[in-house]
Amino acid sequence: MQYAALLPQFGPPARGADVAERVARVAQAADRLGYDVLWTAEHLIFPREIRTPYPYGGRFPYSVDEPILDVVTTLSYVAALTKRVRLGSAVMVLPYHQPVPLAKALATLDVLSGGRLLVGFASGWLVEEFELLGVPFRERGARTDEYLRALRALWTEDVVDFSGRFVRLEGAAFFPKPLQKPHPPIWLGGTSEAALRRVARAGDGWIAAPRTPEALQEEVERLRRFREEAGRDPGALGISSSGGAASVDALLDVVPRLERIGVTMVTVPALFWGKSVEHALELMEEFASRAGLPPVQGVAPVEGVS
């Protein structure tokens, strides 16, 4: 089992001039405590009022005036402050991005981090955000599928010839390639049938939204069936989940069940950000100790960052 933590780069924890220090402290703690991945999240712009129903139940959990730091910029900052922890996006909304500059930014991040990038994408859900960005909401699935193919071509082919509905490249040279070969792992989010089928045919892993183990098990079983239909090994698919836990005790209790379901990476949930960065660090350390994460020797804070 691997373990992941969330960076404080969105919502109330990202407020204020000292957010860089908070991000640095959490990133370096995760690096030192033995966590495997640091996750970031993405929204680019919000409407004044969110009318689209939140697809994961209830209301969208943040106000539209809460900050969300850019994913690649944040992970680039964290890459310079850490040594071993992987740098993840959970998730970037792929249809929002033009594939060529996105491929360049992510490949550069993988190179500069020493091959630590874990890319997470989804097709998006917030209709008003698509409208503000001028991207047709009805095209989000088609763009996601095509952009995934374009990214892989840019990252793996010396001469890129790509002809699609949204992307056309002829005789293109794209460098640097990512350090990881053939490319950084691509994990995908989403819970609709279309999203799960996309994970099955095109993903190295699935980033599950918070839900109960019962609901998660049903989705994992569907995903495995879709994976078999796509001719891919169901056992080779990574799965990330927090199991819907709201405390260290609850998360520790649910880990064995998550493992039986097929989860390969447990994420410390965002609820741990409820009080302060100091409280979050205490919970990260408590969970790491009780879950048996091996502390990493020789990983110390970067000079100049308290």
Q: 280 falls in which pLDDT band (50, 70, 90)? A: confident
Whether residue 199 is preceded by a cis peptide bond, meaning omega within 30 degrees of 0, is: no
Higher pLDDT, 280 or 87: 87
CA distances (Å), origin 23, targets 26, 42, 120: 5, 16, 19
Inside any domain, residue 126 = yes
The b/e string for 150-176 (b: 16+ C-beta within 10 A; e otherwise) is bbbbbbeeeebebebeebebeeeebee
We report the CATH number of the domain holding residue 278 as 3.20.20.30
Residue 254 lies in domain:
2-291
Q: How far is CA 123 from the centre of its chain?
A: 13
* pTM as predicted: 0.95
* pLDDT tens readout for residues 63-115: 999 999 999 999 999 999 999 999 999 999 999 999 999 999 999 999 999 99
Inside any domain, residue 275 = yes
| Predicted pLDDT at 265 | 97
Inside any domain, residue 301 = no
Beta strands in 232-306 (DSSP E): 238-241, 265-267
pLDDT at 139 over 90: yes
Number of domains, the chain? 1
Q: 273 falls in which pLDDT band (50, 70, 90)? A: low
* pLDDT tens readout for residues 237-247: 999 998 778 88
- Average the pLDDT over each of 163-167, 170-174, 280-284 and give the range with the smallest value: 280-284
Inside any domain, residue 300 = no
Inside any domain, residue 87 = yes
Inside any domain, residue 183 = yes
Inside any domain, residue 91 = yes
Inside any domain, residue 273 = yes
